[in-house]
Amino acid sequence: MNDCFDRQKTERSSCTHAQKWIQMQEDLGRAPNTVAAYRRALEDYLAFCSRQALLPEAVKREDIARYVRDRWTPVQAWQMLRCCSV
């Protein structure tokens, strides 16, 4: 089988799992803004995986660390520390 086809099938599967998880959060009665935030975060994470050619189901600890570093720029870290040091 073609690796590209397998990757596309797995990416669709990841998207389906994410959509089902979001639906479950809605069914549990989570606040609309909470569900929207979860949706944005999942979309961001899946986009990161796609850009890095990672399969979400197969990521390793170092892939998660790279995602966190990618999301937390020095400015964001400084703002967080500034906010919490009050």
Q: What is the reported pLDDT for 78?
A: 61
What total of structural domains would you count in the chain? 1
pTM: 0.68
Distance CA 70, CA 78 (A): 15
Q: What is the reported pLDDT for 3?
A: 42
Provide the residue range defining the domain that includes 36. Answer: 3-84
Extended strands (E) in the chain: none
Tens of pLDDT along 35-64?
A: 999 999 999 999 999 999 999 989 999 999
Query: By the 8 A CB rule, do 57 and 14 touch?
Result: yes
Residues 6+ apart with CB under 8 A from 66: 52
